[in-house]
Amino acid sequence: MQFSQVTKVHHHPKIVPLNNNIVSEKIIDIAIYSEIKSQLDLVGIKLNPTLTKLIESSSVQQVKNAISIVKETLLTGTKIRSKVGLFRKALESDWMPSQLDEEREVNQLEATFSEWYKLAKASGLVIASQKTEEGIIVYETNGQAISFENMLERGWTLDYLQLQNQR
C-alpha cells in the first residue's frame, strides 16, 4: 500500500487571507464608516439605529453630501431645529451641497486671512500680501517675504491680533 504525501494545512482562526475580496471590502467599509462617524461627531450628530440603517442604505457620496449640507447650514448661521432632522432630510432627498468641502475650506481660509491681514497691516506687522500656488505670502515691513502659515506659527494669530487691537 502506497500513501501519497499530504500537505497538512494549518488553519488558524485569527489569520485571514488578505487576497480575499470580501475581507478587503470590509476593511474599506470600516475605514469609510469611521470617517463618516467622525464627520457626524464634528457636526454634533449622534447615530441611532434608524439613522444607521438610512446611512447603510445610501451611497457614500450621498452621506458625504448630506454631512456637507449640515456643515454649510451651520456655517451660515441659519437656525436649525434639528441637525439630525436636516441630515436625514438631505440624505433621503439626495440634496447636493452648494460647495465642496475643499471649496468651503479655501473660502474660510481666505475670509480668515482677509480679516487677519487688515489687523496685521494696521498694527504695522505687514505691508503687502500675495497669493501664490504654494499659498499666501505676506511681506513684513523689512520687505522679507514669509508664508501666512509661518506668521501664524510665530504666534501672530487672528485671535492675538484681535486682542491687540482691542487694547
HEC string of 104-149?
A: HHHHHHHHHHHHHHHHHHHCCCEEEEEEECCEEEEEECCCCEEEHH
What's the pLDDT at 99?
62
Residue 27 is predicted with a pLDDT of: 54
| pLDDT value at residue 135 | 85
Q: Is 155 left (phi over 0), alpha (psi -120 to 50) or beta?
A: left
pTM across the whole model = 0.48
Q: What is the dihedral of CA 28, 33, 34, 39, to 10 degrees?
A: 130
In this prediction, residues 58-65 reach a mean pLDDT of 89
For range 138-159, the mean pLDDT = 92
The answer to whether 17 touches 48, Cβ cutoff 8 Å, is: no
Domain limits, the chain: 21-92, 101-166
Do the beta carbons of residue 55 and residue 65 sit within 8 Å?
no
Percent of the residues in the chain that have a pLDDT greater than 70, as a whole number: 78
Q: Among 6-10, 30-34, 42-46, 150-154, which stretch is predicted with the lowest mean pLDDT?
A: 6-10
